[in-house]
Structure 1
């Protein structure tokens, strides 16, 4: 496995263009909780943002343990050796959505068909997002087929 000092452009591009991430938190007993979520990647800041509700299981888990894992991948059902993706491990911080309207605006630009980043077959979900999750990557692993590349935050 290759370890790089800078985040490779292929990881940045994939995260910037991807639409769905699998976000994993754990509760107090370290039981994992994984959910598919829309996300936004800030290339300049090297951060990932997700929107949810303050009462969600994710937020509850983050209040007791802010270590997370997040995966974005592209799958080829005909040839799994053409699959590629990025897995991030890092920390997540819960933020007030109303104090981060620039991020909300960027979500709206990236997902124009989704109101506030969420839409269910033309109907709003029962709970609208009111909370922002900011992910700070500490480790990124990129794969294509069976080849892996790794980036690690040097400050760790």
Structure 2
């Protein structure tokens, strides 16, 4: 399915979103993540620590959503964003240096984006230490601008 340009502009123009997972009791958990969107596969990828609440929840319940938005604090009618819903899979565990080259490059892209923005936070943390790559297979996306919404079913 062809994704509308306004959705692509948000997904490719941003690196930061909010992932919502739920445990087996449907208790929600929302956290910020750096992500990469891959249009050919219609998947979103992010990295997290293998001991995180996100990973624990995804192992219990793979349903997930991520919201990426642009906010105008002066005029909320200019706010726009994309919410993608789908199923998550933890695709990689263990030392990242043994990953396939394309996956390793994806990891580097996400990591370097994060490192560039928050150098002081991760200065002494080696790349890949206790991390996993999570992929979200998108099933539905919703776009909004101000009070107007558009929905796209995938696949």
Residue 42 of structure 1 and its aligned partner are, at CA, apart by 1.0
Residue 122 of structure 1 and its aligned partner are, at CA, apart by 6.3
Paired residue for 2:105?
A: 102
Paired residue for 1:149?
A: 150
2:49, 2:148 → 1: CA distance? 37
Structure 1 residues 36, 125: closer, same or farther in 2, change over 3 A?
farther
Confirm or deny: 8 A CA contact 2:48 2:132 kept in the other structure.
yes
What secondary structure, in the 3-state scheme, does the structure 2 residue paired with 1:93 have?
A: strand
TM-score (norm 1): 0.84
Q: Give the total of aligned pairs.
A: 147
Structure 1 residues 13, 129: closer, same or farther in 2, change over 3 A?
farther
Structure 1 residues 110, 125: closer, same or farther in 2, change over 3 A?
closer
In structure 1, stretches of 5+ residues that fail to align are none
TM-score (norm 2): 0.84
Structure 1 residues 77, 93: closer, same or farther in 2, change over 3 A?
same
Confirm or deny: 8 A CA contact 2:71 2:79 kept in the other structure.
yes
Confirm or deny: 8 A CA contact 1:51 1:129 kept in the other structure.
no
Paired residue for 1:58?
A: 54
In structure 2, stretches of 5+ residues that fail to align are none
Query: 1:57-114 CA deviation, whole Å, 9 max, x = no partner?
Result: 1001001110001100011010000000000110110011622202113325645615
Structure 1 residues 121, 61: closer, same or farther in 2, change over 3 A?
closer
Confirm or deny: 8 A CA contact 2:115 2:122 kept in the other structure.
no
- Higher helix proportion (structure 1 or 2): 2
1:123, 1:74 → 2: CA distance? 28
1:122, 1:67 → 2: CA distance? 29
Structure 1 residues 56, 38: closer, same or farther in 2, change over 3 A?
same
Is 1:39 the equivalent of 2:38? no
Is 1:21 the equivalent of 2:21? no
Is 1:75 the equivalent of 2:71? yes
Structure 1 residues 110, 123: closer, same or farther in 2, change over 3 A?
closer
